[in-house]
A and B are shown apart, each in its own frame.
Chain A
Amino acid sequence: MQFGLTETQQVMKNSAREFFSAECPIAEVRRLMDTPTAADAALWRKMAHQGWTGIVFDEEYGGLGLGLVEMAVALEEMGRALLPGPYLSTVLLAGIAIDASGNPAQKRKYLSRIAMGEAHATLALVEASARWDPDAVQLDAQPTPAGFALTGRKMFVPDAAAADFLVCAARRGPDLGLFIVPRDARGLTVSPLPAIDETRKLYQVAFDNVPVAEEDVLAIGDSARAALDRALAVATVALAAEMVGGMQRVMEIAVEYAKARKQFGKPIGQFQAVQHLCADMLLLTESSRSAAYYAAWALQDRAPGADVAVSIAKAYASDAYREVGNRGIQVQGGMGFTWENNVHLYYKRAKASELMFGDATYHRERIARLAIDRPTDNL
C-alpha cells in the first residue's frame, strides 16, 4: 500500500504548477473574471497542448489515457491558480458524460473535439428545484420524426455561454435521457446568472422546442442514468481536488502575511491566536487532500465504497474550504476584506464550489444512506 504521488505524478504536479504560475497568474484571473465568459482561447490552446483537455480520455479520441489520480493532480494545481473558465464543465462534466454514454461516432465527433481542445462544452442538469439528484430532472424530451424536441428550463449551468455544445439531461416519459445540443440551436436561450464567483460563470438555459437529431441522443434509460452518475462522481472528485489547491494557496497567503505583518513590534504570526488559525488551516487542507485523493483512487480502481468516498471528499472539502477562507481573511485583518487582496477571490470560489454538485449537508445525507441505512462491514 502506498498513499502518495508516484514520481511521474509528482513531475506532472510540478510542471502544472509552473505552467499555471506562468500562464495564469492572479492578474490574468482578475482580467478574465471581468470578461463575459471568463474563457480565454489562447490559454485554452496552451492547456490543450499540454494534454490537459484530454487527460483522462482514450488515446483513440485524442486523450492521454491517464487516470483519475492524475486528473486530481492537475485539478489541484488549477484550483491553486484559481483557473477561470470552462475546464471543469468541458472536460469533466460534458466530457465524462459523453465518454460514459456515447457511441463511437458520437465520441469521434464530440469527445475528440473536447480532448483536443477544439471545443468547450457543459452539462445542463439542475433545474429550478436546484436539486443535483438526477431524479429531479423534469425537462421534457418529446419524440419527433427527426429525433426529439426539448422544452423546459435549466439553472446554474456552468459556462453555458462559452460552450459550443451542451449535454442536456431530460426526461422522455419516465426515462432519463442525455442529449447533445449545440449552443446555437434554434429555441435555446442562454442568460447569465450574476453570482459571487466571477471566475466560473453560471447561466440559466431555456429550451423552447429545441430540436435534437437522432444521432445526438447519447443515451436513454438506465445507461443515461449510469453515465450521469459517473460524470457527477468524477466531476465531484475533480472539484474536491480543485478545492484542495485553493485551500493550499489561501493558507500560503495567510502564513506569508502572518510572517511579514508586524503589530506590537512583532510578526502577528508569533501570537498564538494567529498561529492556531494557521494550524487549523493546515489540518483542514491536509485532511481534504487525503479525502480527495483517496476518492480519486477509489473511483479509478472501482474500489468498494468509492461512492461514499466521493461524498466524504465533497462534504469535508465543502466545509473546509469555506473555513480555510474564513481564517485566511481573519488573519489578514482589514487587508483581507479589501478588493485588492486576492483571498476574497478564493473565498467566493469556495462558496460556489460548496454549492456545486451538492453541499456538505447533501453529501452527508448521501453518506447516511450508504453507511447508516445499509451498515456494511467497512473494516
Chain B
Amino acid sequence: MDLNPTPQERQFRDELRFWLEAHAPRDWEARQSATDSMEARFAFLRDWQRQVYEGGWAGLSWPKAYGGRGATLMEKAIFTEELARIGAPPLPGILGLELVGPTIIAFGSEAQKQRYLAKILSGEEIWCQGFSEPNAGSDLAALRTEAALDGDHFVVTGQKVWTSYGWASAWCELVVRTDAGAEKHKGLTVLLVDMHSPGVEVRPLRQMTGETEFNELFFENVRVPAANVVGRVNDGWNVALGTLMHERALLGAGLQITFKRQFGRLVELAHQIERNGRPAAEDPVIRQKLAQCYAEIEIMRLNQMRAISRVMETGKPGPEGSIQKIFWSELNQRFQQIAMELLGPYGQLTRGSEFAFDDGQWSYNWLRARGNTIEAGTSEIQRNIVGHFVLGLPKSY
C-alpha cells in the first residue's frame, strides 16, 4: 500500500498540467451562465475536444493502434481529476470516447474500427446511445425496438428515451430486438445507426431543471446496413452490457473533484452567510453537516482509488467498485440539500436573479442531483446488483 504517486504518474500529471495551462479555456464556467444558444455552446465544446485530440489526450485508455494513448486506469483517473480541478469544459464526444469507442474496439469489425474510431477521437462525429425505452428502463432487456432483416439491411422501428446528446449526434449505438421468439436477453443486437437516415426523428425531452440534456428518439422503418451490426446478431446483450460496465466504473472519477470544488465554495459562503447572528460556519449544526459531507466526499475518493488499484492489479472490479454509483449519487443529494439549507431562502433563487448566490448554481445543482439516483442505473437496481453479484443472494427478479 503506497498512496504516493509513482514517478510515472507524477510525470504524467506534470505533462498534462503543462498542456492544460496552455490550452484549456478559462471561461467555461462563465460561459455556462451566459446566454449562448445550446448550439453555440456545443460548437465551443467541439472545438475544445478537437484541441484535446490534437494534443494527443483524447481516448487516453484506448490502445495506441486505434489512436489512443494506451494509458493506465490510474492515468485516466488523473486526467479526469485534472480537468475537473481547473473546471475545464466537458468533452462533447464523451459517449463515443468512453462507451461507444471501447465497445467497437472490443466487439467491432476491422472495417468498423477504421470507419468510426478516428472521428470519435477528434469529435468530428458525436455519438449517442439508444438503450432505454419507455417500457424498458431498469429492465433494459425488455426493450421492443424491432429490427427485421430485409436483404442486406435491417429495418428498424421503435422508440428510445433518455438519450443524451441525441440532437447533436451523427451516430447512435442502438440496441434492437432481432429475434422476438428468443428469451429476452438472447434476441438483441447492437446496430450503428446514422442519425441522418430517413425515418429518424429526435425530440427534446425537457427535464425538471428546464434543460433538455436528453432526447427521445423515434425510428420508423429506418434502413441500417447489416454491416453495421457490432459483434454478432442476437448477441447484443453482451455487447451492450460491456458498455454499461464501462459506464458504471467511470462515472465517479471526476465527480469527487467537482464535489470538492463545490464544497470549498460552500465553505467560503458559510463564512459569509449569517445564521442566528453569527457566520453559518460557526453554527454547530451546520458544522456537523458540513463535516459529514467533507468526510463522505473524501471517502468517495478513497473508494475510487481502491477500486482503480484493484482493477489495475486483478483486471476485475472488487466490491468497493460496485458501491460507487450508490455512494456518489446519494452523497450528492445530501450535499446539495446541505447547501440549500445553508443558503436559506436565497438558495431557491435561480439564474438571472440578482440576489442568487453564484448565479443560481446551487438551486440548479439541487434539482439536477435529484436525477443522480435514477440515471445510469437506479439505486434500487444498483442494490440488486450488489445483493446478487457481490453478496451472492438469490436473484430477486
Contacts and interface: CB of A to CB of B under 8 A. Distances in A.
Interface of A: 1-6, 9, 69, 251, 255, 258-259, 266-267, 269-272, 274-276, 278-280, 282-283, 286-287, 289-291, 293-294, 297-298, 301, 303, 309, 311-312, 315-316, 361, 364-365, 367-368, 371-373, 375, 377-379
Contact of B302 (A3, A278, A311, A364): A3
Given A1-B2, A272-B380, A315 B309 contact: no
A259 B388 CA distance: 11
Interface string B307-340: 0111001000001101100110000000000000
B392 A255 contact: yes
B270 interface: yes
Given A255-B391, A365-B288, A372-B281, A286 B303 contact: yes
B63 interface: no
23 contacts: A1-B305, A4-B310, A4-B313, A278-B393, A283-B326, A287-B299, A289-B320, A290-B299, A290-B320, A294-B3, A303-B3, A312-B295, A364-B287, A364-B292, A365-B288, A367-B295, A368-B287, A368-B290, A371-B294, A372-B270, A372-B291, A375-B268, A377-B264
Given A272-B380, A275-B383, A301 B291 contact: no
Contacts of A275: 383-384, 387-388, 391, 393, 396
Contacts of B264: 375, 377
B277 interface: no
A294 B302 contact: yes
B257 interface: yes
**Most-contacted residue by chain B among A266, A283, A303, A361 (CB, 10 A):** A283
Interface in B378-394: 380, 382-384, 386-388, 390-394
Main SS of the interface on chain A? helix
A375 to B, nearest CB: 5
B24 interface: no
A266 B394 contact: yes
A334 B73 CA distance: 46
Contacts of A258: 393
Given A361-B288, A364-B288, A1 B309 contact: yes
A367 B291 contact: yes
B115 interface: no
A259 B288 contact: no
B191 to A, nearest CB: 33
A371 B320 contact: no
B35 interface: no
B281 A286 contact: no
A270 B394 contact: yes
A79 to B, nearest CB: 18
Contact of A282 (B1, B298, B391): B391
A140 B264 CA distance: 43
A5 B1 contact: yes
Contacts of A266: 394
B371 to A, nearest CB: 20
**Most-contacted residue by chain B among A9, A274, A289, A364 (CB, 10 A):** A364
A377 B294 CA distance: 13
**Most-contacted residue by chain B among A280, A291, A312, A315 (CB, 10 A):** A312
Nearest to B298: A312
Interface stretch (B4-12, B152-160, B165-173, B176-184): B4-12
B278 interface: no
Contact of B323 (A4, A282, A312): A282
B257 to A, nearest CB: 7
Interface of B: 1-6, 9, 74, 85, 257, 260-261, 264, 267-268, 270, 281, 284, 287-288, 290-292, 294-296, 298-299, 302-303, 305-306, 308-310, 313, 319-320, 322-323, 326-327, 380, 382-384, 386-388, 390-396
B392 A259 contact: yes
B291 A278 contact: no
Contacts of B261: 379
Contacts of A1: 2-6, 9, 74, 305, 309
Given A297-B3, A379-B260, A290 B291 contact: no
Nearest to B292: A364
Contacts of B388: 275
A279 B377 CA distance: 15
Nearest to B6: A1
B284 to A, nearest CB: 8
Given A1-B2, A1-B74, A290 B394 contact: no
B393 A372 contact: no
B302 A291 contact: yes
Nearest to A292: B302
A255 B392 CA distance: 8
A232 B161 CA distance: 55
A3 B386 contact: no
A15 to B, nearest CB: 18
A309 B260 CA distance: 15
A315 B393 contact: no
A276 B260 contact: no
Contacts of A272: 380, 383-384, 387, 396
Contacts of A365: 284, 287-288, 291
A3 B294 contact: no
Contacts of B303: 286-287, 290
A303 B298 CA distance: 15
A364 B319 CA distance: 27
A372 B267 contact: yes
A269 B4 CA distance: 41
